Amino acid sequence: MSGEVLTSADYISHHLQNLTFGQHPDGSWGIAHGAEAASEMGFWAFHVDTLGFSIGLGVMFLYIFHRVAKQATADAPSGLQNFAEWVVEFIEDTVKGSFSGRNPLIAPLAFTIFIWIFLMNFMDLIAVDFLPHLAGMIGIPYLRVVPTADPNATLGMAFGVFFLILYYSFKIKGPGGFFSELAFQPFGKLGLPVNLLLEGVNLIAKPISLALRLFGNMYAGEMIFILIAIMYSGGLVLGAFGGLLQIGWAIFHILIITLQAFIFMTLTIVYLDMASQEHH
Q: Give me the DSSP letters along 202-235.
A: HHHHHHHHHHHHHHHHHHHHHHHHHHHHHGGGG-
Q: How much is the pTM?
A: 0.90
Of 29, 54, 227, the C-alpha closest to 146 is 54
**Active-site residue flag, 217:** yes
**4 has pLDDT over 60:** no
How do residues 192-238 score in pLDDT, each as one tens digit?
Answer: 677 778 888 888 999 999 999 999 999 999 999 999 999 998 889 99
pLDDT at 278: 67
CA distance 198 to 193: 9
**Active-site residue flag, 67:** no
Taking the C-alpha atoms of 186, 190, 191 and 195 in order, what is their torsion angle to the nearest 10 degrees? 60
| Least confident span in 42-46, 72-76, 202-206 | 72-76
Amino acid at site 249: W
- Count Cβ atoms below 10 Å from residue 276 Cβ, excluding itself: 19
pLDDT at 188: 64
Better pLDDT: 280 or 120: 120
**Active-site residue flag, 233:** no
* Residue ranges of domains in the chain: 48-130+146-276
Contacts of 11 (CB under 8 A, 6+ apart): 226, 229, 230
**265 has pLDDT over 80:** yes
Q: Which of 103, 217, 233, 276 is catalytic?
A: 217
